[in-house]
Amino acid sequence: MKEFKFDHANKSWDRYKAFHNVDWGLVEFETGEVIVMSYITSSDRQMYDKYGIQLVATTDTDCPQLYFDKECTEPVKKAWLTHHGLQELAVDHEQKVAVAFGYRRHNERNSHLGRHVHSALAYWAGAKRLPVALGKIKVQTPNPEYRKVLSPILVNEVIPTIAAMHKMNDDKSGYARGQYKAKEEWVDS
């Protein structure tokens, strides 16, 4: 995260019981800490140049390319990040790292952090520091062994079954769309 100048003229106290300013999805504290708020909207997902932090979903078109390694030689494919739906990330462009939001229930607050940042989804202790990982980025990579096991089943059982279903189906209108209505008499055939 970049160093920033705290705006003392417009600071607030009540919500966090610490001097802070809200900048859309981020909250900056007088101490130099920055958090992602406990609730963000899609309009909060943007680049915050003041901090060098980008809030983004893995399905967003402006989601930066992520890598497995620090040298950026092993890219993570977007499909591996969106396997079970989108993930919301905070990308620190200064430190060149991304962290997933750490969603917690009320009774699982970030007790290891200061009381004023218990509701953080992502947390920076200060400028030029790595963010504290409160969540895990889920990456679903393909399993080549699974493909070896599945291929013979697809070729020897599934494809012939679909071909037979098509031949037995009187109504060929669903064929172009790849839709087949299973018939009760086919059960256990």
Pick the last residue of a domain from 71, 95, 124: 124
> Do 67 and 100 belong together in one domain?
yes
Q: Are residues 83 and 18 in the same domain?
A: yes
Give the model's pLDDT for residue 17. Answer: 93
Are residues 157 and 116 located together in one domain of the fold? no
Whether residues 120 and 39 fall in one domain: yes
* C-beta of residue 46 within 8 angstroms of C-beta of residue 61: no
Considering the domain architecture, whether residues 25 and 100 belong to the same structural domain is answered as yes
Lowest mean pLDDT across 5-14, 33-42, 101-110, 139-148: 101-110
* Mean pLDDT of the chain, nearest integer: 87
Q: Could you write out the three-class secondary structure of 25-57?
A: CEEEECCCCEEECCCCCHHHCCEECCCCEEEEE
Q: What is the pLDDT of residues 50-90, one digit of tens each?
A: 999 999 999 999 999 999 998 999 999 999 999 889 999 99
Instruction: Compute the distance between CA of residue 55 and CA of residue 170 in angstroms, rounded to an integer.
Output: 53
CA distances from 103 to 14, 46, 79, 88, 174 (A): 23, 19, 22, 10, 43
* SS3 state of residue 106: helix
Alpha carbon distance 120, 123 (integer Å): 6
Q: Which of 90, 124, 158 is the last residue of a domain?
A: 124
Which domain does 182 fall in, by range? 144-186
User: Which residues make Cβ contacts (< 8 Å) with residue 167, sequence separation at least 6?
Assistant: none
Domain count within the chain? 2
Structure tokens at 34: 């920055």
Q: Is the pLDDT of residue 175 over 60?
A: no
**pLDDT value at residue 105:** 63
